[in-house]
Structure 1
Amino acid sequence: MGMTLGKPFSGFFQQIEPRIVLFGLDGTGKSSIVHKLKTGETLTTNIRTIGLEVESIKYRDSTLSFWEEGGQLRYKMIPLWKHCIQEVAGLVFVVDSTDRDRIEEAKYFLNMVIDEIQGNVPDSVAVLVYGNKHDVPGAMSASEITNKLDLASLRNKNWQRNWHTQSSCALSGEGLHEGLDWLLKNAGRM
């Protein structure tokens, strides 16, 4: 009898896809990363994301739900963060490793987001920082990005999470899988 009742209701109890929230300043390559992970192809358009984009991506043995926060309205989106991070499995902060002029702004934005979501995200949620566009001459290394974002000081804010900075290139895909593998291994809900 249990089998008979279970089949008609099986569609109501589907597995929820682990949610990965991608965020960062505008022009860092967030959409290109999502597109490369989803299709394996290089994104050929240059249309900025306004608001929020959600994509389901098959990765290894999982289906992940990527929530990409648009960078242009990033400060207006801050009040919505509490809703986006509900049931989040991982956070991905994307930095343009060639943009030395805006690394301080990236640090400021990261700290704003952390202040906003503090207490609303379980301690088991890992944070991946992609240093995108690392293939460009003069790009900052992963360790330089870690230092410039002052990730170690976030522990003083009682932000006791696993951190990893991964050099990446959304155009070639270099570093994307390594970073995502690290996130999946260290995220609490996956």
Structure 2
Amino acid sequence: HSPVFFKDNEPKIVLFGLDATGKSSIMHKLKTGDTTNMPTIGFDVERLKYKDSTLVFWEISGQQRYNLLPLWRHYFQEVSGLVLVVDSTDRDRIEEAKDFLNMVIDEIRGSVPDNVAVLVYGNKSEVPGAMSASEISNKLDLASLRQRNWQRNWHVQSSCALCGAGLHEGLDWLLKNAGRM
């Protein structure tokens, strides 16, 4: 069956971030218990059974993020949660991740319901020297987004796609805080 067809009662989660942050690995770890290192081309849609819910994840390619940006407004209309994945070891690109997040927010403003929760996975947290959740929150300047009338629930969760640490905790937070779930 085609993954594009999903039921209205299945919460839609959009998974996004820069390339090579571990989006696909997180998706596959949650779905199968294994990881993958194959980059996503365009976008991938996966149905994930988690606890008492069936979630539909739309994973958007990090490599083609700017080409796809004009289409995002359409993906985000019926969304219940947003998941940004950042590489917590990559201090050189955290500013780029912040700029990208701000660009996405500007692009989807008005298309996303007010009660959408935003989970940030600080992936690769098992690597020595990785940024903590609070450091990621500061570097992404999440507090300033609230001042720009982006009144969403935010949570930064340290995670490890390879071993699974933090993934379920993040998803639990998202299920508890996202709208329409």
TM-score range, shorter chain: over 0.9
Q: In the alignment, which residue of structure 2 is the partner of 1:4?
A: none
Q: Aligned pair 1:23/2:16, yes or no?
A: yes
Equivalent residues, number: 175
CA distance in 1, matches of 2:130, 2:11: 32
Cα displacement (A) at 1:172: 0.5
CA distance in 1, matches of 2:170, 2:57: 14
Aligned AA for 2:29? K
Contact 2:16 2:85 in 1 (8 A): yes
Q: Aligned pair 1:141/2:132, yes or no?
A: yes
Partner of residue 96 from structure 2, selected from 99, 105, 109? 105
Contact 2:117 2:174 in 1 (8 A): yes
Q: Which has more helix, going by share of residues?
A: 1
CA distance in 1, matches of 2:166, 2:157: 7
Cα displacement (A) at 1:41: 1.7
SS in 2 for 1:93: strand
Partner of residue 36 from structure 1, selected from 29, 37, 49? 29
Structure 1 vs Structure 2: percent identity of aligned residues? Answer: 78
Q: In the alignment, which residue of structure 1 is the partner of 2:148?
A: 157
Contact 2:20 2:62 in 1 (8 A): yes
Q: Aligned pair 1:169/2:156, yes or no?
A: no
Q: Aligned pair 1:77/2:72, yes or no?
A: no
SS in 1 for 2:92: helix
Q: In the alignment, which residue of structure 2 is the partner of 1:62?
A: 53
CA distance in 2, matches of 1:75, 1:56: 25
Aligned AA for 2:39? R
Cα displacement (A) at 1:47: 2.2
Provide the TM-score with structure 1 as the length reference.
0.90
| Cα deviation digits, residues 15-37 of structure 1 (max 9, x gap) | 53210000000000000000000
Provide the TM-score with structure 2 as the length reference.
0.95
Question: Which segments of structure 1 move beyond 4 Å, counting only runs of 4 or more?
Answer: none
Contact 2:10 2:56 in 1 (8 A): yes
The structure with the largest alpha-carbon Rg is 1
Aligned AA for 2:81? G
Q: In the alignment, which residue of structure 1 is the partner of 2:4?
A: none
Aligned AA for 1:40? G
